[in-house]
Chain A
């Protein structure tokens, strides 16, 4: 099993460009999440999907959209990238609520 996979691993965007970060999990987990990690601020929840067909805002949703494509896949879209969105983005999945998250390797995004 690959666990949680993310593409791309690295990306550089110019301000105003758009892109979609892809995430897939093969653990048959119901819930999936997108976090961003910035120095000194820990991991902050952007959006989550409790189950297939549902999505909800987390702590820092502005500037992002998500799509739960099916049970396996959860994508994060930046419609008009801003320098403040320079960060490392992690996708995660979980089976039961509150039992722990399984993270992907991350996407390192730089917006110039």
Chain B
């Protein structure tokens, strides 16, 4: 059974600080995705990474896919209160239909 472990589970920081969220597995994925979810809403896709070692940037967010395609990280620079939310990583195996999700990292950024 494929599992994705996210750490930390909860993070409370001050505005302007940097942070990194990790997503780890013992399984290899064909792609890995990051989502952000706000209370009462569905997850929103932020990025998909498909190549081992790939780095993608989305404004202050930097996403990296591990060389072996088993892990990923999300780094946020100079966090803002608007970054508050639940961050989910998800991995798609060969075939791509059975995407599995980590339990999430709940981020709270204080002004």
Which residues of A approach B to under 8 Å, CB–CB?
Answer: 4, 31, 33, 35, 40-45, 48, 50, 56, 58-59, 90, 92, 96-106
Contact = CB atoms under 8 A, between A and B. Distances in A.
Residue among B30, B88, B97, B103 with the highest chain A CB neighbour number at 10 A: B97
Interface string B76-97: 0000000000001010100111
Contacts, number: 66
29 contacts: A33-B99, A35-B101, A41-B103, A42-B101, A42-B102, A42-B104, A43-B88, A43-B90, A43-B101, A45-B98, A45-B100, A48-B98, A56-B97, A59-B98, A59-B100, A90-B42, A90-B43, A92-B42, A96-B96, A97-B97, A99-B96, A100-B48, A101-B33, A101-B45, A101-B90, A103-B42, A103-B44, A104-B42, A106-B42
Contacts of B68: none
A98 B102 contact: no
B11 interface: no
B45 to A, nearest CB: 4
Given A40-B103, A42-B104, A97 B95 contact: yes
Give the interface size class of chain B. Answer: 20 to 34
Contacts of B41: 105-106
Contacts of A92: 42
Contacts of B104: 42
Contacts of B102: 42
B101 A31 contact: no
Contacts of B64: none
A35 B101 CA distance: 10
Interface string B15-39: 0000000000000001101010000
Contacts of A56: 97
Nearest to B48: A100
Interface string B45-88: 10010100000000000000000000000000000000000001
B36 to A, nearest CB: 11
Given A42-B101, A43-B88, A100 B45 contact: yes
